[in-house]
Amino acid sequence: MAGKRQRLSRKFFLRDTHVVARDLLGKILVRRRGKNIVACRIVEVESYVGHDDRASHASHGRTVRTEIMFGQGGHAYVYFIYGMYWCLNVVTERADFPAAILIRAGEPLEGIDQMKRARGREKLVDLASGPGKLCQALSITGTLNGEDMVTSKTLFMTDDGFKVRKQHLLQSPRIGVAYAGEHALKPWRYFMKDSPYVSRI
DNA sequence: GGTTCGATCCTCT
DNA sequence: GAGGATCGAACCT
Protein backbone atom coordinates (compact mmCIF):
# COMPACT_ATOMS: atom_id res chain seq x y z
CA MET A 1 0.00 0.00 0.00
CA ALA A 2 1.47 3.27 0.31
CA GLY A 3 2.00 6.92 0.55
CA LYS A 4 -0.13 9.97 0.93
CA ARG A 5 -3.23 10.04 -1.13
CA GLN A 6 -3.37 12.82 -3.67
CA ARG A 7 -6.59 13.67 -5.44
CA LEU A 8 -6.61 13.35 -9.24
CA SER A 9 -6.64 16.78 -10.87
CA ARG A 10 -8.67 18.27 -13.71
CA LYS A 11 -5.59 18.03 -15.91
CA PHE A 12 -5.45 14.26 -15.37
CA PHE A 13 -8.89 13.80 -16.93
CA LEU A 14 -8.45 16.21 -19.83
CA ARG A 15 -5.90 13.96 -21.55
CA ASP A 16 -6.49 11.32 -24.22
CA THR A 17 -9.14 8.88 -22.97
CA HIS A 18 -7.13 5.70 -23.52
CA VAL A 19 -4.15 7.17 -21.69
CA VAL A 20 -6.38 8.18 -18.79
CA ALA A 21 -7.96 4.71 -18.77
CA ARG A 22 -4.60 2.98 -18.40
CA ASP A 23 -3.55 5.49 -15.74
CA LEU A 24 -6.74 4.91 -13.74
CA LEU A 25 -5.72 1.32 -13.06
CA GLY A 26 -4.30 1.25 -9.53
CA LYS A 27 -5.91 4.54 -8.52
CA ILE A 28 -8.38 4.72 -5.64
CA LEU A 29 -12.08 5.46 -6.01
CA VAL A 30 -13.47 7.05 -2.86
CA ARG A 31 -17.08 7.43 -1.77
CA ARG A 32 -17.64 9.54 1.32
CA ARG A 33 -20.84 10.25 3.17
CA GLY A 34 -20.16 12.19 6.35
CA LYS A 35 -17.65 10.16 8.35
CA ASN A 36 -18.47 7.06 6.40
CA ILE A 37 -15.77 6.26 3.82
CA VAL A 38 -15.78 3.42 1.33
CA ALA A 39 -12.92 3.01 -1.13
CA CYS A 40 -11.56 0.56 -3.66
CA ARG A 41 -8.56 0.28 -5.97
CA ILE A 42 -9.57 0.38 -9.63
CA VAL A 43 -8.60 -2.83 -11.47
CA GLU A 44 -10.73 -2.71 -14.62
CA VAL A 45 -12.01 0.07 -16.92
CA GLU A 46 -13.31 0.60 -20.46
CA SER A 47 -12.95 3.59 -22.82
CA TYR A 48 -15.89 4.99 -24.76
CA VAL A 49 -14.60 7.59 -27.19
CA GLY A 50 -16.18 9.97 -29.68
CA HIS A 51 -19.44 9.93 -31.61
CA ASP A 52 -18.14 7.30 -34.07
CA ASP A 53 -17.94 4.70 -31.28
CA ARG A 54 -21.19 2.81 -31.73
CA ALA A 55 -20.82 1.19 -28.31
CA SER A 56 -20.92 4.63 -26.69
CA HIS A 57 -24.17 6.21 -25.58
CA ALA A 58 -22.88 9.39 -27.22
CA SER A 59 -23.04 7.76 -30.67
CA HIS A 60 -26.76 8.62 -30.77
CA GLY A 61 -25.94 12.28 -30.44
CA ARG A 62 -26.22 14.87 -27.76
CA THR A 63 -29.34 14.15 -25.68
CA VAL A 64 -30.52 14.96 -22.18
CA ARG A 65 -29.08 11.67 -21.01
CA THR A 66 -25.68 11.96 -22.66
CA GLU A 67 -25.20 15.68 -22.14
CA ILE A 68 -22.74 15.06 -19.32
CA MET A 69 -20.49 13.04 -21.66
CA PHE A 70 -20.12 16.19 -23.76
CA GLY A 71 -18.99 18.15 -20.72
CA GLN A 72 -15.51 18.74 -19.37
CA GLY A 73 -13.37 15.87 -18.13
CA GLY A 74 -13.55 14.95 -14.46
CA HIS A 75 -17.32 14.73 -14.08
CA ALA A 76 -19.23 11.58 -13.19
CA TYR A 77 -21.60 10.06 -15.73
CA VAL A 78 -23.89 7.65 -13.87
CA TYR A 79 -26.57 5.78 -15.77
CA PHE A 80 -29.21 3.18 -15.00
CA ILE A 81 -29.21 -0.13 -16.85
CA TYR A 82 -31.29 -3.28 -17.23
CA GLY A 83 -33.89 -1.90 -14.89
CA MET A 84 -31.79 -2.71 -11.82
CA TYR A 85 -28.23 -1.46 -11.86
CA TRP A 86 -26.18 1.70 -11.97
CA CYS A 87 -22.89 2.17 -13.84
CA LEU A 88 -20.24 4.79 -13.05
CA ASN A 89 -18.16 6.53 -15.70
CA VAL A 90 -15.75 9.41 -15.43
CA VAL A 91 -15.88 11.89 -18.31
CA THR A 92 -12.60 12.65 -20.10
CA GLU A 93 -11.11 15.20 -22.51
CA ARG A 94 -12.33 18.66 -23.41
CA ALA A 95 -15.88 19.95 -23.42
CA ASP A 96 -17.93 19.17 -26.56
CA PHE A 97 -15.95 15.99 -27.27
CA PRO A 98 -17.93 12.99 -25.95
CA ALA A 99 -15.72 10.52 -24.10
CA ALA A 100 -15.83 8.66 -20.80
CA ILE A 101 -14.37 5.71 -18.95
CA LEU A 102 -16.57 3.03 -17.42
CA ILE A 103 -15.28 1.94 -14.03
CA ARG A 104 -15.88 -1.81 -14.23
CA ALA A 105 -14.27 -3.29 -11.14
CA GLY A 106 -12.31 -2.56 -8.00
CA GLU A 107 -10.44 -4.19 -5.15
CA PRO A 108 -12.08 -3.36 -1.80
CA LEU A 109 -9.75 -1.31 0.42
CA GLU A 110 -11.75 0.62 2.99
CA GLY A 111 -15.21 0.36 4.49
CA ILE A 112 -15.36 -3.33 3.67
CA ASP A 113 -18.10 -4.04 6.23
CA GLN A 114 -20.17 -1.29 4.66
CA MET A 115 -19.63 -2.82 1.21
CA LYS A 116 -20.66 -6.24 2.45
CA ARG A 117 -23.85 -4.80 3.87
CA ALA A 118 -24.66 -2.85 0.71
CA ARG A 119 -24.06 -5.93 -1.45
CA GLY A 120 -25.51 -8.58 0.82
CA ARG A 121 -22.41 -10.68 0.18
CA GLU A 122 -19.48 -11.75 2.34
CA LYS A 123 -16.69 -12.68 -0.06
CA LEU A 124 -14.33 -9.87 -1.06
CA VAL A 125 -14.35 -10.96 -4.70
CA ASP A 126 -18.15 -10.52 -4.82
CA LEU A 127 -18.14 -6.90 -3.65
CA ALA A 128 -17.02 -4.82 -6.63
CA SER A 129 -16.07 -7.25 -9.43
CA GLY A 130 -18.38 -5.68 -12.01
CA PRO A 131 -19.78 -2.23 -12.83
CA GLY A 132 -23.19 -2.88 -11.25
CA LYS A 133 -21.67 -4.48 -8.16
CA LEU A 134 -19.18 -1.66 -7.71
CA CYS A 135 -21.92 0.97 -7.72
CA GLN A 136 -23.99 -1.05 -5.28
CA ALA A 137 -21.00 -1.51 -2.95
CA LEU A 138 -20.17 2.20 -3.01
CA SER A 139 -23.79 3.39 -2.89
CA ILE A 140 -23.45 5.18 -6.22
CA THR A 141 -26.76 6.08 -7.87
CA GLY A 142 -28.18 8.61 -10.30
CA THR A 143 -28.08 11.36 -7.70
CA LEU A 144 -24.32 11.48 -8.35
CA ASN A 145 -24.72 11.96 -12.11
CA GLY A 146 -22.86 15.14 -13.08
CA GLU A 147 -20.84 15.23 -9.85
CA ASP A 148 -17.49 16.95 -10.39
CA MET A 149 -15.03 14.35 -9.11
CA VAL A 150 -12.21 16.90 -9.11
CA THR A 151 -13.88 19.01 -6.41
CA SER A 152 -16.55 16.73 -4.91
CA LYS A 153 -16.48 15.83 -1.22
CA THR A 154 -18.53 12.67 -1.73
CA LEU A 155 -17.14 11.01 -4.87
CA PHE A 156 -13.57 11.37 -6.07
CA MET A 157 -10.36 9.58 -7.05
CA THR A 158 -6.92 9.58 -5.49
CA ASP A 159 -3.38 8.37 -6.19
CA ASP A 160 -1.51 6.73 -3.31
CA GLY A 161 1.61 6.09 -5.34
CA PHE A 162 0.68 2.52 -6.25
CA LYS A 163 2.39 1.61 -9.52
CA VAL A 164 1.01 -0.76 -12.13
CA ARG A 165 3.79 -2.34 -14.13
CA LYS A 166 3.29 -2.75 -17.85
CA GLN A 167 3.55 -6.52 -17.56
CA HIS A 168 0.63 -6.53 -15.12
CA LEU A 169 -1.65 -4.76 -17.56
CA LEU A 170 -3.92 -6.48 -20.09
CA GLN A 171 -6.29 -5.27 -22.80
CA SER A 172 -9.28 -6.93 -24.44
CA PRO A 173 -12.40 -6.03 -26.40
CA ARG A 174 -15.10 -4.42 -24.28
CA ILE A 175 -17.80 -6.45 -22.57
CA GLY A 176 -21.38 -6.60 -23.79
CA VAL A 177 -21.01 -4.44 -26.90
CA ALA A 178 -21.21 -7.06 -29.66
CA TYR A 179 -23.77 -4.87 -31.45
CA ALA A 180 -21.20 -2.13 -32.06
CA GLY A 181 -19.86 -3.26 -35.43
CA GLU A 182 -16.13 -2.75 -35.97
CA HIS A 183 -15.90 -0.92 -32.68
CA ALA A 184 -16.91 -4.08 -30.82
CA LEU A 185 -13.48 -5.50 -31.67
CA LYS A 186 -11.41 -2.59 -30.40
CA PRO A 187 -9.33 -3.56 -27.35
CA TRP A 188 -10.57 -0.72 -25.20
CA ARG A 189 -10.99 -2.71 -21.99
CA TYR A 190 -8.02 -2.32 -19.66
CA PHE A 191 -7.53 -4.50 -16.59
CA MET A 192 -4.96 -5.82 -14.16
CA LYS A 193 -3.53 -9.20 -14.99
CA ASP A 194 -4.04 -11.82 -12.26
CA SER A 195 -6.32 -9.63 -10.19
CA PRO A 196 -9.12 -11.72 -8.63
CA TYR A 197 -11.24 -8.57 -8.56
CA VAL A 198 -11.79 -8.09 -12.31
CA SER A 199 -15.28 -8.80 -13.64
CA ARG A 200 -14.26 -11.83 -15.68
CA ILE A 201 -11.25 -13.45 -17.35
C1' DG B 1 -17.61 -26.73 -15.39
C1' DG B 2 -20.72 -23.81 -18.71
C1' DT B 3 -25.10 -21.64 -20.53
C1' DT B 4 -29.63 -19.63 -20.22
C1' DC B 5 -32.92 -16.71 -18.55
C1' DG B 6 -35.67 -13.50 -15.68
C1' DA B 7 -35.72 -9.23 -13.15
C1' DT B 8 -37.20 -4.41 -14.14
C1' DC B 9 -37.17 0.60 -15.95
C1' DC B 10 -35.01 4.50 -18.32
C1' DT B 11 -34.03 6.34 -22.79
C1' DC B 12 -34.68 6.90 -27.44
C1' DT B 13 -37.41 5.38 -31.79
C1' DG C 1 -42.57 -0.38 -27.86
C1' DA C 2 -37.87 -2.26 -27.90
C1' DG C 3 -33.56 -2.99 -26.06
C1' DG C 4 -29.69 -2.35 -23.01
C1' DA C 5 -21.74 -0.74 -21.09
C1' DT C 6 -25.68 -6.36 -15.61
C1' DC C 7 -26.23 -9.83 -12.12
C1' DG C 8 -27.30 -14.08 -10.01
C1' DA C 9 -30.14 -18.15 -9.80
C1' DA C 10 -31.41 -22.12 -12.19
C1' DC C 11 -30.57 -25.49 -15.26
C1' DC C 12 -27.72 -27.93 -18.28
C1' DT C 13 -23.49 -31.27 -19.42
pTM of the model: 0.96
Statement: residue A1 has pLDDT above 60 = no
Q: Which nucleotides of B are covered by protein (CB under 7 A)?
A: 7-13
- Spanning CA of A83 to C1' of C4, the rounded length in angstroms is 9
pLDDT digits (tens, 9 = 90+) for A15-66: 999 999 999 999 999 999 999 999 999 999 999 999 999 999 999 999 999 9
Statement: residue A169 has pLDDT above 90 = yes
Q: How far apart are CA A75 and CA A77, in angstroms?
A: 7
Nucleotide nearest to A60 (CA to C1'): B12
Q: How far apart are CA A76 and CA A123, in angstroms?
A: 28
The DSSP secondary structure of A39-84, one letter per residue, reads EEEEEEEEEEESTT-TTSGGGG-S-TTTGGGGS-TTBEEEEEETTT
C-beta within 7 A of nucleic chain C, residues 104-163 of A: 119, 121, 126, 130-134
pLDDT digits (tens, 9 = 90+) for A58-110: 999 999 999 999 999 999 999 999 999 999 999 999 999 999 999 999 999 99
Mean predicted confidence (pLDDT) in A129-153: 97
Statement: residue A150 has pLDDT above 60 = yes
- Spanning CA of A165 to C1' of B7, the rounded length in angstroms is 40
Among residues A51, A60, A74, the alpha carbon closest in space to that of A147 is found at A74
- Spanning CA of A165 to C1' of B8, the rounded length in angstroms is 41
Go through chain A and tell me how many residues it has.
Answer: 201
- Spanning CA of A5 to C1' of B12, the rounded length in angstroms is 41
Q: How far apart are CA A11 and CA A198, in angstroms?
A: 27
**In the 8-state DSSP scheme, what is residue A85?**
E
pLDDT at residue A2 in the model:
63
The DSSP secondary structure of A11-39, one letter per residue, reads HHHTS-HHHHHHHHTT-EEEEEETTEEEE
Mean predicted confidence (pLDDT) in A118-147: 96
